Amino acid sequence: MKIHRRVAAGTSAVAAALPVMAVAQLLQLEAHNHGEVLLTLVQDAGSVTLELITPQLNLLGFEHAPATEAERQALLAAEAALRQPGNWLQLDGEGCSTGVADLETSGEAQHAENHAENHADFSVRFAFTCANATLRGLTFVGFAAYPGIHEVELQWLVQGKAGTATLTAKDSSVPLP
């Protein structure tokens, strides 16, 4: 696993003021790579916010609008699973309770140059309430359930310290500062 850490002065105030996606953009994430999941974690003063972004292909095997009843059922099952963070993530720590889950499904995007490519993503955001929480690490447990996922690009901002890690099925855990 590749782990990169950096201390960013004043990032706690920045993290509190920005939504997770803005922090992810500050940490220069790239989006929509098949086989990859982007996971962002921000912890600051009593809260943890997680955002997971993945191409629908990673979970469903397709990115087009569901065309059959089986595809519609697969989409509903994936959406239900994403709303339960324990299906794809384990936090190592105490004192946090799951709060609000917000799931978005992007539509198909058309690309110019006389060809069309379908791209659709899932984006799920969780806000945890963490009174006196001790967050020591996390494990991505979604590799077994979703064989289309090959790696997770994790970006974190925890109490003013930022870092990144690449998680795989063989190395799916990371300590946090």
- pLDDT at position 69 over 70: yes
Q: Which tens digits make up the pLDDT trace of 99-120?
A: 767 888 775 433 333 334 567 8
Mean pLDDT (whole number) for 138-156:
94
Q: What is the mean pLDDT of residues 26-48?
A: 76
pLDDT at 15 over 90: no
Residue tagged 């600051």 (tokens): 44
Question: 152 with 40: CB under 8 angstroms?
Answer: no
Enclosing domain of residue 159 = 3-109+119-129+137-175
Query: 3-12, 95-104, 124-133 — which is least confidently predicted?
Result: 3-12
Q: Is 75 helix (H, G, I), strand (E, B) or coil?
A: helix
Q: What is the mean pLDDT of the chain?
A: 77
Domain count, the chain: 1
pLDDT, residue 164, reads 95
Beta carbons within 8 Å of 152's beta carbon, 6+ residues apart: 36, 37, 38, 39, 140, 166, 167, 168, 172
Asked if residue 114 belongs to a domain, the reply is no
- Residue 165 has a pLDDT of 96
Residue at 56 is within a domain? yes
pLDDT at 59 over 60: yes
Place of tokens 């993945």: 54
Residue, of 74 and 7, whose pLDDT is higher = 74
The confidence score (pLDDT) of residue 1 equals 47
Region at 80 (left for phi over 0; alpha for psi -120 to 50; beta for the rest): alpha
Mean pLDDT, residues 110-133 taken together? 66
* Cβ 54 vs Cβ 18: under 8 Å: no
Dihedral pair phi/psi, residue 46, rounded to 5°: 90, 5
